[in-house]
Structure 1
Amino acid sequence: MSVQTIDLHFQDTPGVISSSVFDTGDGLAIVDTGPGSTLGHLEEGLAQFGAGLSDLRHLLLTHIHFDHAGAAGTLLERLPKARAYVHERGAPHLARPEKLLASATQIYGDQMEQLWGQMQPIDPDRMKVLSGGEFWKLGHTEIRALYTPGHAVHHVSYHVGDDLFLGDVGGVRLAEGQTTRAPTPPPDINLEVWRESVATLRTLDARHLHLAHFGRYANTPAHWDGLLAKMDEEAGWVRAGLEAGRSPQAITEEFTERQLSDIEAEAPGLRERYEFACPPWMSVQGLARYWTRKAARG
């Protein structure tokens, strides 16, 4: 199966957000549409291999965060024969995205439109709702959905032949030389279940891993080992700061410098792009919430 990686040039920056597209024999499938603000770049990317938006039939969403699913509703409005696939815990929010929009507006304020564009509601009849474990055929293509929480409670991955489409649960990796790292924004981070998801995914018979951030990599033990090692290391930095009573600002500043310095040492020139793709301050917030909730549960 030939998979095309489309660079969505988020905020005119290459190598930050991607969509994956392949022919099912029953129209094109796209894994993660990206945000509404990058629809023009999606259309340009499709045109590079002789396709257009009208060829899209199956919108396979790994989860409902804006950078992965923001454009899905707009695409379905334009494509009456297309359908979205989403986990059952995410589907209600796509049908009625008001809470998502309100929550994101608290973070991004008047930058919402520029960053993410429009997020249109999706008619529930246009969604195939997944719980994980489903196996179905589109044209000549067999697709398996796996429930893979950790980054989000509504996260699924897709296994299609030699290819695994991982959304964010497979980590952020922007260059071959960069060790895979876990994006950990609030509110759903759960490191225990993330490790369980990785344990499931790394046993699957697949040659290629597709990451929204960013692109295709060989399915090697080093990819998964690096993800788990950096996840534990970075979570440990935040935990140590909290236990020492340090302020959120101090923890964030130290985390940011340590993480980005490590990345620059691994892949010179990558620091700025990584910071844009996966803002360290958001990862600190998610990990701090994780440790605080864990302590409250005893």
Structure 2
Amino acid sequence: MSGPQRIDLNFQEVPGVIAAYVFDTGDGLAVVDVGPASTLPALEAGLLDLGAGLSDVRHVLLTHIHLDHAGATGALLDRVPRARAYVHERGAAHLSRPERLLASAGQIYGDQMERLWGEMRPIDQDRLKVLEGGEILKIGKTEVLPLSTPGHAVHHLAYHVGDDLFVGDVGGIRLEVRQTPRAPTPPPDIDLSAWRKSIAALRAVDARTLSLAHFGSYPQEAAHWDGLLETLERDADFVRHGLEAGQSLEEITERYTAELLDELRAEAPELPGRYEFACPPWMSVQGLVRYWQRAAARSGAQPERRG
């Protein structure tokens, strides 16, 4: 296996939505973001295509604990006793005791939880390597640098490995090269200021390739980060203006979704359908509404305009 390899997890039988990345450490395979438990068979099949198997996995590097990134971790570790998972310190407890995380997701997805995500199994604490970000990990012959990158989630990490930078969701959603990166902003802990700082830190990393969970690998270049910042600010302002105008959540969501899908369709006709699997627009609206409402509560007034 020469260099990191991407495995398409074919979420809900739709290609190009959720990716896992695999590389050889010299001490077994590392997988960055194993995906939900519902796609574990696809991960196993992808490893077989690479001439490997689940039993070769020793290290699961999690960018964050959302179900589409980390849901299969417990099931994989149950099948591979020698493997361990790496996670930010603020997400570790949810992997050991996932009840609250699952209850929160259940309020959103209801009876679709099993179909979408499968079973999220708890993980023994002694099989977790808890990270702060900024450490230098020596895994086999490979140096891995976890980077604390909040904004999408308070417990988000990126991983710098040689020429490659695995950016999870803080690097945005970009389903193909023609698409401008978009920020996934689901609740509960979107933080625009932290996200801007994370982007500034990541764009300064000496890497050649950005690998996104949603979806694919792109050059580490200013155009990617500039596009992500532009759409992040535009989406946030769109929701803020709606709130200031007294629009309901339903009205804001309907207008946001229509404009977003029109923009994506103009970039590539097939993008809207795939994008809605990768990041349902209504979830992004809910996260931004929560962000602005919390900002207003802190200031005692409507959030101020930036710039």
Q: TM-score range by the shorter chain?
A: over 0.9
2:302 match: none
1:166 is the counterpart of 2:167: yes
Q: State the shift of 1:267 in Å.
A: 1.7
- 1:40 is aligned with what amino acid? P
2:217 match: 216
- 2:130 is aligned with what amino acid? V
1:14 is the counterpart of 2:15: yes
TM-score calculated relative to the size of structure 1: 0.99
- 1:92 is aligned with what amino acid? A
TM-score calculated relative to the size of structure 2: 0.96
1:71 is the counterpart of 2:72: yes
Distance 1:136 1:167 in 2: 18
1:134 match: 135
Distance 2:229 2:74 in 1: 34
- Deviation per residue, 1:48-106 (Å, 9 max, x gap): 11010001000000000000000001111111110100000000010000001111111
1:184 match: 185
Q: State the shift of 1:269 in Å.
A: 1.7
1:35-184 paired onto structure 2 within 5 Å: 35-184=36-185
Q: State the shift of 1:186 in Å.
A: 0.2
Distance 1:112 1:40 in 2: 17
Structure 2 residue ranges without an equivalent (≥5): 300-307
Q: State the shift of 1:272 in Å.
A: 1.0
Q: State the shift of 1:213 in Å.
A: 0.3
1:30 match: 31
1:2 match: 3
- 2:255 is aligned with what amino acid? E
Q: State the shift of 1:146 in Å.
A: 0.6
1:196-235 paired onto structure 2 within 5 Å: 196-235=197-236
Distance 1:78 1:97 in 2: 19
- 2:135 is aligned with what amino acid? E
- 1:278 is aligned with what amino acid? C
- 1:75 is aligned with what amino acid? L
Distance 1:228 1:266 in 2: 18
Q: State the shift of 1:185 in Å.
A: 0.2
1:269-288 paired onto structure 2 within 5 Å: 269-288=270-289
Structure 1 residue ranges without an equivalent (≥5): none
Distance 1:92 1:110 in 2: 25
SS at match of 2:123: coil
Distance 2:133 2:42 in 1: 30
Distance 2:154 2:169 in 1: 12
- 1:254 is aligned with what amino acid? R
Q: State the shift of 1:268 in Å.
A: 2.1
SS at match of 1:297: helix
- 2:111 is aligned with what amino acid? D
SS at match of 2:168: coil
SS at match of 2:176: coil
Percent identical: 67
Distance 2:291 2:63 in 1: 22
Distance 1:267 1:159 in 2: 30
- Deviation per residue, 1:109-162 (Å, 9 max, x gap): 111111000100000000000011110111111000110000001101100000
Distance 1:119 1:127 in 2: 15
Q: State the shift of 1:182 in Å.
A: 0.2
- 1:228 is aligned with what amino acid? L
SS at match of 2:218: strand
- 1:90 is aligned with what amino acid? G
- 1:38 is aligned with what amino acid? T
